[in-house]
Structure 1
């Protein structure tokens, strides 16, 4: 069965964004971007909340139309347009770019999506993005792996990736990689009882 992989960037102090959704502190160079491209290209689909989806849909569909766009950005634009996307939203009425709108996180439906094999979804895991959606998936025990790009910066305040919880989730470090710019990739498998 495919995995659901939470894939996010965080500051060293655990924030996924600063105040006013600021992500200017992200240190994504060509090396980090290429790693993300390679990973996402192997995914069967992307799962995100409305805010994350809107941010992506506002930029990536035409990012490669800019002749000044770096090659890694142009490559990701093509990957993003083609990959199946599932956006979880109670309010979104329409979404383009190979996107399916899902109203609620229903664990049985998510498990069925993990098991689904057809021409639309194909092989590969499912990448999960967005703090609120990730919290909901974690609450239901639906996350199988966590892939964090930890940026070497302390931003002091903002939106934490992981909300307060009374649940302890065991993790097993499966991979770590340090990029030339100081970003560290940490990949953890979620331990199951």
Structure 2
């Protein structure tokens, strides 16, 4: 049985994953939500991201325990992030530290090779990379964490597609800070199953 590709993303109510100039300050990540992320992500078999997302994570999480403002859930996630195998899709990055493999192209073949590896499912993040995976129908589940904010502009998580992508809602959860999890699964077979 192959590992599934699971997209995790914070989004605004109007569908943006980041505000103008890559602003993420609107996200509502309190201790309750952070502990939820830790619980879900610790079960994954690896993190899959693009270069920008990986560099953003690598700039903070390896040394988060030196930050006096870091909360207990943040410190717990730092341990999870450091230990987790990571795959970065990038045409420009030649090397990455912290248990990271660089892959050049998003293709059904390269993604299928990842899903045949050992361990749990793979946590996909990053809007640009998600668009590439979605365009090739390579996402098995989508977990959207919808923040109670309308940004009005920024970068949309989902770009126009040639064909509809049918999904099945498998669960919801409302956090006390107003963020709502919408958990979807693909409705049909994946090209990765063949």
Structure 2 length normalisation: TM-score?
Answer: 0.94
The partner residue of 1:182 within 152, 173, 178 is 178
Residues 133-165 of structure 1 show CA distances to partners (whole Å, capped at 9, x for unaligned) of: 111111111100001110000010000000111
Distance 1:167 1:86 in 2: 28
8 Å Cα contact 1:64/1:75 also seen in 2:
no
CA RMSD, aligned part only?
Answer: 1.0
Q: Which residue of 1 aligns with 2:129?
A: 133
Residue 146 (structure 1) aligned with residue 142 (structure 2) = yes
**Matched residue SS, 1:150:** strand
Partner of 1:84: 85
Task: Report SS of the residue matched to 1:164.
Answer: coil
Q: Which SS does the other structure have where 2:60 is aligned?
A: helix
Partner of 2:171: helix, strand, or coil? strand
Partner of 1:25: 26
Per the alignment, residue 10 of structure 2 pairs with 9
User: Could you tell which deviates more after superposition, 66-75 or 10-19?
Assistant: 66-75
Pair 1:48-2:44 in alignment:
no
What 5-or-longer segments of structure 1 have no aligned partner?
A: 118-122
TM-score (norm 1): 0.95
Q: How many residues align?
A: 188
Runs of 4+ in 1 over 6 A off after TM superposition: none
Aligned counterpart for 2:152 among listed residues 146, 152, 156: 156
What CA distance in whole angstroms lies between the structure 2 residues aligned with 1:91 and 1:109?
Answer: 17
List alignment gaps of at least 5 residues for structure 2.
190-194
How far apart are the structure 2 equivalents of 1:12 and 1:162?
Answer: 13
1:16 offset after TM fit, Å? 0.2
Give the superposition deviation at 1:109: 2.1
